[in-house]
Structure 1
């Protein structure tokens, strides 16, 4: 029981998410700069004696609890009237209301990101904060960028936008190979340039909407790269900016892509119910025609949402829809960003779905087939799916566990891990290591674990 001056709300929230004050201290110290780090016992004083952290720690704590809990926690909720609010540590949905979709509001959000986005830290949210935005996208009657010229110093031409689209295509290829911080930095810089053009140049409405769609694609790619790096709050913020840009540009397919990315991120954040809800809304909201490859992508992401929720029949049905859509082939109106959606990706993602469902036999078959057909340049996917195949062998079902094959498959991609800036891949190798460790008495397992630990100590991976 807390004393008279204890912080009952902080105590309640920590108990709700199953954290001790020590875990809160570790989470704070992972985020803040070295000069702001706290002692491991400091949160005990916040909880038990009601002390108030120094600024900006109240906002940091509120953000950390927001991500861990899945619902927004505010500074006032934790320390009513006692702590300073800060505009540096914010939830990803800050200023993005489901009832405010006017184009000038979207431009203002993009300009605000251009001016100070790098100086702010956003925390990922869950639940109604996301699903309400998806519903507003699907069922709202949203205005497009108006049919007028925007005052500015230069005039945008179709050729210039063609150049920007080709440049973005090259950045996508860089992400396909390795991803990582450098590619993210380049994408964010291109997005800043696009925002400057939207704000300071002249263009007719059709080119303005095309440029706005391009900015939305850049935001989506930045979100994807941030997600792969494990920066979930940043990724979610970028996705939401991309969604706003897609709406103002009248690009329904891009909006569906962004929402599918948000749902996919939620499956990795262990929020599968969010993913199922969002993907259901996406399917309802795609009232206008979409190309078969886009339909396949959406169905594949829906299958992933179902799989992480343990919904077997729904997963199989969604995968079948994806295969059928893909079989209809390419379309003249396929958006540029759907180029990567093909049979090899679908087969590999199906393997990941079956792994979530515990059907390791199907997972092994699908992942092995996908890896056999994967482009040699797709290093990150080779690592991701190779580790997934290793995990399927390590788990096995019905006495089919094959530790030697698990170590072999993981060992095949382990040397590639330093080339890949992916938190997802590192989380997978940590999971495999944890599941193999109880079998360390086996020489093959011991050799693999020792090799991995040596690489880790040398900071090679």
Structure 2
């Protein structure tokens, strides 16, 4: 039986609820907390002009249907278009428009809010797009925010918010640059760190320091990155929201692992789970993605790096069963650790099966990290060249 195409499915679900396209758009804005969906967007989805990959979890929520049904309807699609995704997530207009307004170059809180919304739009786009797709837009948005900060006049209170927005944009631009193997990564993170500290936002400063530490660790500067990751925990402080502290401890755990300090890594993993359990719902918007499943992924990554596959395999398998198929890059990365864990557990057939999926997923995303992980998986499988399933993978 031919699966129902996504455009027809969305139209059927909407009409069965008695909703107009505008009513569905309003429901999605309310469910996501991100008011950028319009009736025109819904119309494009139902005509097959765009694929609402980012919005699938929210469509499932408002229609009260399993997310997997919607995701399966997108499998035959060629993938999300970067321009379309960004147009649905970024606020309308030009970030530097206030500089040419009638009142000269004086800006207020609304401009700072707009820049913060642009940062969050990029973060949401990063959930479904890779660094190579976002590198241009991310730096255009960051450059525009820096220009507004430098060329406008504003009150001290607004300046703090503009600095915070620059810090947030620098964090996501640095993350995108790291994923794209762009040489501007470190300088971008340091720009954001300076802005966050001047704004007096300790949690954001820790986020940027931890992000830079993570980048350094993953690019061969383990000692520097580990020191910075540990410093980020201290910079965030014990009073930072639980979600943010969990994130900082998780990055420290990874740094300790790469530095060969297994005991410190285990302590940091435990501290991350404790911090998340203490979260009171006051975390900043940029920590929206931190949850128990993501912490379990880091647990499993650490266990894999420490050659403890019997701990890693069950964790990764459970998380991946419920992970969105639209998050192609993350699935490729997480499955790469699963493939390595299977190899370490002396299960080469399973390792080869997962490796084939990693290779397939990585071929669809413009991510240097995903490409690197493919090479790691293939290197680990080389120990099992006498296994037919592995030999087939290595031969292709």
Fold shared by both chains (TM-score > 0.5): yes
1:410 and 2:355 aligned: yes
1:245 and 2:195 aligned: yes
- Which string of whole-angstrom CA distances, capped at 9 and with x for unpartnered residues, describes residues 125-144 of structure 1? xxxxxxxxxxxxxxxxxxxx
1:354 and 2:303 aligned: yes
CA distance in 1, matches of 2:338, 2:236: 34
Q: Deviation of residue 424 (structure 1)?
A: 1.5
- Secondary structure of the residue that 2:366 maps to in structure 1? coil
Q: Deviation of residue 381 (structure 1)?
A: 0.9
- Which string of whole-angstrom CA distances, capped at 9 and with x for unpartnered residues, describes residues 86-121 of structure 1? xxxxxxxxxxxxxxxxxxxxxxxxxxxxxxxxxxxx
- Which string of whole-angstrom CA distances, capped at 9 and with x for unpartnered residues, describes residues 360-418 of structure 1? 2112122222212323322111100001100111123xxxx111100111222332212
CA distance in 1, matches of 2:279, 2:195: 28
Within a 5 Å distance, the mapping from 1:242-391 to structure 2 comes to 242-287=192-237, 289-332=239-282, 334-391=283-340
Within a 5 Å distance, the mapping from 1:84-233 to structure 2 comes to 153-231=104-182, 233=183
Q: RMSD in angstroms over aligned alpha carbons? A: 1.8
CA distance in 1, matches of 2:235, 2:118: 30
- Secondary structure of the residue that 2:320 maps to in structure 1? helix
Cα distance, 1:329–1:375 mapped onto 2, change above 3 Å? farther
Q: Deviation of residue 288 (structure 1)?
A: 7.0
Q: Does structure 2 retain, via aligned residues, the 8 Å contact 1:439–1:445?
A: yes
Aligned to 2:390: 445
CA distance in 2, matches of 1:272, 1:392: 22
Q: Does structure 2 retain, via aligned residues, the 8 Å contact 1:276–1:302?
A: yes
1:426 and 2:371 aligned: yes
CA distance in 1, matches of 2:124, 2:236: 27
Aligned to 2:185: 235
Instruction: Say which is worse superposed, 164-173 or 438-447, in terms of deviation.
Output: 438-447
Structure (1 or 2) with the larger CA radius of gyration: 1
Q: Deviation of residue 317 (structure 1)?
A: 1.4
Instruction: List structure 1 segments (4+ residues) > 4 angstroms apart after TM superposition.
Output: none
CA distance in 1, matches of 2:124, 2:325: 13
Size of the aligned set, in residue pairs, is 294
- Which string of whole-angstrom CA distances, capped at 9 and with x for unpartnered residues, describes residues 153-183 of structure 1? 2222222322222222121111121222231
CA distance in 1, matches of 2:274, 2:383: 42
Q: Does structure 2 retain, via aligned residues, the 8 Å contact 1:310–1:356?
A: no
CA distance in 1, matches of 2:261, 2:237: 25
Q: Does structure 2 retain, via aligned residues, the 8 Å contact 1:344–1:373?
A: no
Q: Deviation of residue 271 (structure 1)?
A: 2.9
Q: Does structure 2 retain, via aligned residues, the 8 Å contact 1:179–1:420?
A: yes
CA distance in 2, matches of 1:432, 1:420: 17
- Which string of whole-angstrom CA distances, capped at 9 and with x for unpartnered residues, describes residues 325-356 of structure 1? 11123523x11111111111110111111111
Q: Does structure 2 retain, via aligned residues, the 8 Å contact 1:344–1:374?
A: no
- Secondary structure of the residue that 1:155 maps to in structure 2? coil
Instruction: Say which is worse superposed, 250-259 or 355-364, in terms of deviation.
Output: 355-364
Q: Does structure 1 retain, via aligned residues, the 8 Å contact 2:197–2:205?
A: yes
- Which string of whole-angstrom CA distances, capped at 9 and with x for unpartnered residues, describes residues 40-63 of structure 1? xxxxxxxxxxxxxxxxxxxxxxxx
